[in-house]
Amino acid sequence: MSNLIVPIFILLIILVGIIEKKNVYSLFIDGVKEGVKAAYNIFPYIFAITIIAGLLKDTKILDSISIFGLDGKILPLIIMKPLSGGASTSMVIDIFKNIGPDTFTGLVASILMASTETTLYVISVLASKVKIKDMKIVVICGLIGDIAAVIATIIIASYIM
């Protein structure tokens, strides 16, 4: 059943569009254009943070850092998760391969991936759509939520392990 949800949802959207006499294909193309514009606007920021996280990882600076019993290799994930889901997934796979999924760090990585959002990415996409000009409060609230999620993750992982 779960394999059918997305195709059914797509067909439902097309059906509603046809019933309401909308040009579904044209609306789809307009959405793609807006998505490409949003991606173009946020790409430099995501690219810069990805390079910084990669440099921190490759220079082994973080290997000597241990905070709250966490391996230093979790810090790039904590930095990257608000920016990019794909890069975060890559980092989690790296943690699983090098440290192990059944370690404290692996558990923290798993909980972080399941309980946090790509906050800055979502904010930038939504802000470009609704044309919000002053994003300071929204970004601050989002980052406070991310920090709270990291703290809660460490507490939960400590309790589980």
Region class of 66: left (phi > 0), else alpha (psi between -120 and 50), else beta: beta
Record the tokens describing residue 122, joined without a space: 């979502």
> What integer pLDDT is reported at residue 148 of this predicted model?
93
Query: Token pair of 72, please?
Result: 């230093």
Q: What is the pLDDT of residue 68?
A: 63
Q: Which pLDDT does position 149 carry in this prediction? A: 92
Query: Which of the residues in the chain have pLDDT under 50?
Result: none
Whether the model pTM is above 0.85: no
**Residue 151 φ then ψ, to 5°:** -60, -45
| Domain extent listing, the chain | 42-160
How far is Cα 89 from Cα 74, in angstroms, rounded to an integer?
12
Residue 69's pLDDT is what?
65
Look at residue 63 in the predicted model and tell me its pLDDT: 65
List the end-to-end C-alpha distance of the chain, in Å, as a whole number.
35
